Amino acid sequence: MGGLFGNLVQASKALMANQVAIQVTGRNVANVNNPEYARQRVKFGDRYETSTPHGPEGSGVEALQVQQLRDAFLDAQVVRQISDTSLLNAQRTVLSNLELVLGDKLDSASSAASVTDTKNSTTGIGAAIDDFFSAFSNLAANPSDIPSRSAALSAASALADRLNLADERVAAAQVDQEGQITSDVSNANRLLADIAELNAQIRQAPDVESGGASQLIDTRQAKLEQLAALVKLDIVKDPKDPVELNISLGGVALVSQGQLVNQISYLTEKQAAELSVAGSLGTRTQGFEVGTYDQAGSFTPSLVSVGGASALRVADIVAGGNLPSTGTTTIVARLDASTVQLSQKATTTGYFALTVNGVANSRIAYATAGSNIVTLSNSASYEVVPAGGSAQGRFQAVFGSPTASAMTSKGIRSQLADFAAAIKTQVNSIYNPGGSGTNLFSSVDVSVTGPAVGNTTTAGSRTVSVVNTTGLVVGMHVSGTGIPAGATVAAILGTNKFALNIPATADSLTPATILASRNLLSVDPTITASSLQVAAPGGPAGSNAIATRIAALKDVAQRWNSPVGGGSQFNANISDFSRGLMTGLAQTIQLVGTRADESEVVGNAVKAQRDSVSGVSLDEETADLLRFQKAYQANAKVISIIDDMLSSLISMVR
C-alpha cells in the first residue's frame, strides 16, 4: 500500500501497536510485587504481505499477540515441589507436637546429656520410670518404713498415670490431626471446583490468542499451587483443548474438560471401623477416597480399580445385600468399564459383596437405593494415597507404619501399650508370683471370653466375636489373641460382637479371653502403704525380697516393640524405654526436618528459575517503556509530517 494515504494507514497501525505495548508494559510494572502474575510481551508483525512492482510490501506492523511468559515445565516443577515440601513440613509439625505431648523433649543444644539421661526431663515418662525404681530401691533399704512404702506406692501410681496421660494426649492429638486432614480435603475440593470453573472460563474467554485469558491463567496457576500444598495430584493438559488442565488422583479423574467430575473424601479411623463392621467391608481402613456427589448431596466413592465389570456378561445373575432377594431375579442388563446396569433396582444404599451366578465374588459393589446402576471394583480396597501435600503428610505422621527411622503417633501408642504390658507382667510376677493374690499393677476392667465355636478374631477383620460384651465401652484398650498392640474398642455391635479400631493380626480359632481396660496401666486401688507387699510370701516380716527384685528390674532386659528395634521385639532394659522412644522420635523429627529444609531450598531455587522467566524486572520494563514510548513518538511524528504534506498538497490544488 503506497502513497501518502498508505503510509498514513501503516503509521497509524504502528501507533496503535506501540500503544498496546505501552499498556502491557504498564500492566507488568503494576504487578511487579504480585507473585501470581506472569509477565506479558507483545508480539509485533504484519498480518499479510502483498506483491507490488517494487517488491513485497507488508500491511503494516500490528500487535498480533499478547504473550504470557510462562514455562509449563517450570510451573509443573513448582507445583510438585510445593507438594513435597508441604508433606514434609506437615510431618515435622505433627511429630514435633508429639514430642511436646509426651513431655520428654530432647534438647541436645541446651543439654547434651538430655539424650542419655532421662532425668534431664523431669516431666516425662523417663523421669517417672527412674522415680519408680528409685522408690523401690529406697524401700528395699527400709522395708518397714511407712513413708518409704507410701513413696513407692505413689511412684507406681505416678508411672501408671504418666503412661496413661501420654496415651490420652497422643490419642487426642491423633483426633485433632484427623480433623485437620478433613479440613485440608475440604479445602482441596473447593480449589478443585474453582479450577474447573476457571478451565471453562479460559476456554470461553474472548480473544484467548491475544492474551484475553492471561489473568484467568494466573489465577488458575495460583490455585493449583494452593491445591498442591494440600494434596499431590496428577495434572496434564487436556488433549482436546490444551488451554484446559485435567486433574486426577490414583487414576480417577477429578477435573476433566472444564468440569468437576469427582471429589476427594477422607474416611476417618472411626468411620472406617463403623463401615467395616457393617458386614461387607471387613478389610477397609481409613484413608483418602475419590467419588462423586449425587443430587441428594451424599458422597459416592468412585472405585480406583477400573474394569470391574470385565468378568461379567449380560444376563449373568447377580445378588447382594443391597439387591432384591425374594421373588425376583436380578440380571446384568448392560455394562461398561466400571458400572453395571441391572434389571432390578437396589433396595438400599451402600456397599455389598457381589455374588455372580450363585458364586461369591471378591468384588465389591456400591448401590444407591432406587437405582439399577451399581459401581464395581476388582478388590475391596478403596484407599487412594496422594503422594504429597499436607493432608498426606499428616496422615503418614499419624497412621504410617513406624520403623527404626520413622515414628508415628499410632506407632507411639503401640509402644506405650507394649511397654505398659511389659511393666505389668514383670512387676506382677514378682509382687504376686502365684497369681492368686493381689497384683500391684492392674489394667483389666473387663474380661470377656470368645465363643466356643468359630473365630474370636480373623486376620484382617475388625470384628471380634465374644460371648458377652457387657462392660465394654468405646475407647477401651483391648488385648488378646490376634489383637495387635494399641487396639481399642471402636464400636459395640451387639451382645456378642464389637469392632476394633484396627484390623486383627491373626486368627483365633479357639475360645480366648479378651481383656479390656480404660487405662494402659493402673495400681490396684485396694493396696495401701501398710498392705504393700515388701517381703516374699512366707518370708520374715522385715524381709525386702520383693522390693529388691522390683528395684533390680531396672537393669533386667525386657522384650517389647520399639523403634530402636525397627518395630520388632527386642531385648532392652526397662530404663531404656523412654530414651529409646524419645530418641527414635527425635531422630525422625531431625530426618524429616532435614528433608523438609532441603526440599524448601530446591523449591526456592525452582521458583527463582521460574521468576527469571515469568517474573517482572523493573529495569527491563523501564527500558521497554522508553523504547515503546520513543517508537510511539516516532510514529506520531510520521503521522504529523504526512498531515503537513497533505495540507500542503491540498493548498497547492486550491
Digit-coded pLDDT (tens) for 139-192:
999 998 999 999 999 999 999 999 998 888 888 888 899 999 999 999 999 999
User: Does some domain include residue 52?
Assistant: yes
User: Does some domain include residue 586?
Assistant: no
* Reported confidence tier of residue 635, pLDDT bands at 50, 70, 90: confident
* Reported confidence tier of residue 55, pLDDT bands at 50, 70, 90: low
* Reported confidence tier of residue 565, pLDDT bands at 50, 70, 90: very low
| Sign of the C-alpha dihedral computed for residues 139, 141, 143 and 144 taken in this order | negative
| Tens digit of each residue's pLDDT (9 = 90 or more) over 305-317 | 333 344 566 777 8
Residue linked to cell 521460574: 610
| 274 and 372 co-located in one domain | yes
Exposed/middle/buried for 150, CB within 10 Å: 0-12, 13-18, 19+?
A: middle
Cα(304)–Cα(386) distance, integer angstroms? 13
Q: Is 19 helix (H, G, I), strand (E, B) or coil?
A: helix
pLDDT surpasses 50 at 22 = yes
In this structure, what C-alpha cell is assigned to residue 407? 515414628
Mean pLDDT estimate for the chain: 78
In this structure, what C-alpha cell is assigned to residue 227? 491445591
DSSP strand pairing (234-237 vs 245-249): antiparallel
User: Is the separation of the CB atoms in 67 and 41 below 8 Å?
Assistant: yes
| 327 and 458 co-located in one domain | no
Tell which of 518, 549, 575 closes a domain: 518
By residue count, the chain amounts to 654
Q: What is the CA radius of gyration of the chain?
A: 36
φ, ψ of residue 457 in degrees (nearest 5): -130, 155
DSSP strand pairing (513-517 vs 477-479): antiparallel
Dihedral class, residue 559 (left if φ above 0, else alpha if ψ from -120 to 50, else beta): beta
| 314 and 204 co-located in one domain | yes
Exposed/middle/buried for 243, CB within 10 Å: 0-12, 13-18, 19+?
A: middle
In sequence order, the 6+-apart residues with CB closer than 8 A to the CB of 321 are 279, 280, 348, 352, 353
User: Is the separation of the CB atoms in 595 and 393 below 8 Å?
Assistant: no
pLDDT at 276: 55
Cα(346)–Cα(374) distance, integer angstroms? 8
Report the number of distinct structural domains present in the chain. Answer: 3
Cα(646)–Cα(48) distance, integer angstroms? 27
Query: How large is the average pLDDT for residues 600-609?
Result: 91
Top-ranked range on mean pLDDT: pick from 210-219, 229-238, 404-413, 414-423: 229-238
Tell which of 320, 346, 377 closes a domain: 377
| 207 and 309 co-located in one domain | yes
pLDDT at 69: 81
* Reported confidence tier of residue 275, pLDDT bands at 50, 70, 90: low
| 265 and 357 co-located in one domain | yes
CA distances from 159 to 253, 561, 585 (A): 52, 19, 20
DSSP, residue by residue, 427-486: HHHHHSTTSSS--SEE--SEEEE--SSS-S--TT--EEE-S--TT--TT-EEESTTPPTT
| 487 and 627 co-located in one domain | no
Identify any residues that bridge with 245 across adjacent strands, giving them in sequence order: 237
Cα(414)–Cα(560) distance, integer angstroms? 10
| 330 and 251 co-located in one domain | yes
User: Does some domain include residue 423?
Assistant: no
In sequence order, the 6+-apart residues with CB closer than 8 A to the CB of 516 are 444, 445, 446, 447, 448, 471, 472, 476, 477, 478, 479, 489
User: Does some domain include residue 110?
Assistant: no
Lowest mean pLDDT among 24-28, 134-138, 189-193: 24-28
User: Does some domain include residue 118?
Assistant: no
Exposed/middle/buried for 411, CB within 10 Å: 0-12, 13-18, 19+?
A: buried
Tell which of 358, 377, 396 closes a domain: 377
| 353 and 205 co-located in one domain | yes
Top-confidence residue, 290 or 378 = 290
User: Is the separation of the CB atoms in 155 and 358 below 8 Å?
Assistant: no
Top-confidence residue, 163 or 302 = 163
DSSP, residue by residue, 184-225: HHHHHHHHHHHHHHHHHHHHH-TTGGGTTTHHHHHHHHHHHH
| Sign of the C-alpha dihedral computed for residues 372, 373, 379 and 383 taken in this order | negative
pLDDT at 404: 54
Range of the domain at 506: 444-518
pLDDT at 153: 94
In sequence order, the 6+-apart residues with CB closer than 8 A to the CB of 410 are 174, 398, 399, 400, 402, 486
In this structure, what C-alpha cell is assigned to residue 339? 458400572
User: Does some domain include residue 249?
Assistant: yes
| 448 and 363 co-located in one domain | no
| Tens digit of each residue's pLDDT (9 = 90 or more) over 328-383 | 788 877 765 557 788 888 888 776 777 777 665 545 677 778 888 877 654 434 45
| 355 and 271 co-located in one domain | yes
Top-confidence residue, 13 or 541 = 13
| 246 and 332 co-located in one domain | yes
Identify any residues that bridge with 478 across adjacent strands, giving them in sequence order: 516
Give counts: helices (H), strands (E), the chain.
11, 27
Q: What is the identity of the amino acid at 552?
A: A
* Reported confidence tier of residue 428, pLDDT bands at 50, 70, 90: very high
pLDDT at 209: 42
pLDDT at 208: 41
| 469 and 370 co-located in one domain | no
User: Does some domain include residue 161?
Assistant: no
pLDDT at 312: 62
Identify any residues that bridge with 477 across adjacent strands, giving them in sequence order: 488, 517
Instruction: Flag whether the pTM goes above 0.85.
Output: no
User: Does some domain include residue 182?
Assistant: no
CA distances from 91 to 172, 413, 548, 567, 585 (A): 17, 17, 44, 19, 12
CA distances from 55 to 14, 51, 52, 192, 535 (A): 21, 6, 5, 55, 119
